[in-house]
Amino acid sequence: MFTLRIIILIVPLKYDLCYCECARAEYKIDKQCCPMFLCAAYDTSTTCVPCPQLTFIDEPNGLVECFPCTVCDADRGLRLSEVCTRSSDTVCGPLERFYCIEKQKGSCTLAVQHSECNPGQYIKQAGTGSTDTVCADCTADTYSNGSFSSCLPHTKCEAMGLAETNLGTHSSDSECGNPPTAVAIIASSVIVTLILITVVSVLIFKHIRKKKLSKSSGNSKGKNKVYHRKKYTRQLFSLYT
């Protein structure tokens, strides 16, 4: 009973062997050639069983169990690149915008995110799956916010007939605004004139008052003179405070 079952199992395997393009000591499975070292050591192939789902064996061995397929861990910056077969482990690659910093047998085992360029720098070389971003500083009259692939020249406000309201830096463009209009110029000169007139009239008024006071103190005589002078000083003082 037992032997019968084994024979049934072997027949399709042998059938496969006849049609494969693999070497003599190999067998074809999942479009790949697998070595038959273990199998060849025995008269019958009963000990050779394809690895179960999510396990693999990628080299000649004497193991009675297959290895579990690697799972690409997003926490290590990894994503699936090639699925696991019975004869090859999963191949992991870096996530989008990550690059690989640790590799094992052609599969990435740890990846980190690409660096970002600072404002004032441009992306000289974009990061790849295996290299980080390369940044470079802006020079002269150019700017970049850190995400440009080259520094852009500052906007020339004067060439557009505008006034420069904010000077450009290496991280920001210059800002242009409308030059002062005729109306604004007239309005501001009117205001300045009004202020000047007010100041001048106040001064004149004070001067007249001062003259009046000194006249009245000059006419007084004797004891009163002292009193008036005191009063005048007090008034003069209050004028300036």
Ligand X SMILES: *[C@@H]1O[C@H](CO)[C@@H](O)[C@H](O)[C@H]1NC(C)=O
For residues 221 and 151, what is the distance between their CA atoms, to the nearest angstrom? 87
Q: Which is nearer to ligand X, 69 or 176 (CB)?
A: 176
Asked if 169 touches ligand X (CB under 6 A), the answer is no
- The residue among 93, 113, 114, 111 whose CA lies nearest residue 102 is 111
Give the other-Cβ count within 10 Å of 231's Cβ. 15
Contact 143, 169 (CB under 8 A): yes
Distance (Å, whole) CA 170 – CA 124: 15
Binding of residue 147 to ligand X (CB under 6 A): yes
Shortest Cβ 121–ligand X spacing (Å): 11
Q: How far is the CB of 77 from ligand X (least distance, A)?
A: 22
Q: Which is nearer to ligand X, 20 or 134 (CB)?
A: 134
What are the structure tokens assigned to 175, written together?
């800002």
Please pick, from the candidates 55, 81, 85, 145, the single residue that binds ligand X as defined by CB under 6 A: 145
Cβ(56)–Cβ(69) below 8 Å: yes
Stretch that binds ligand X, among 2-10, 126-134, 144-152, 171-179 (CB under 6 A): 144-152
Contact partners, residue 113, CB within 8 Å, separation at least 6: 77, 97, 98
Kindly tell me which of 148 and 232 has the beta carbon lying closer to ligand X: 148
**Which residue among 112, 146, 155, 173 contacts ligand X (CB under 6 A)?**
146
**Closest separation in Å from C-beta 154 to ligand X:** 14
Q: Interface with ligand X by CB under 6 A: which residues? A: 145-147
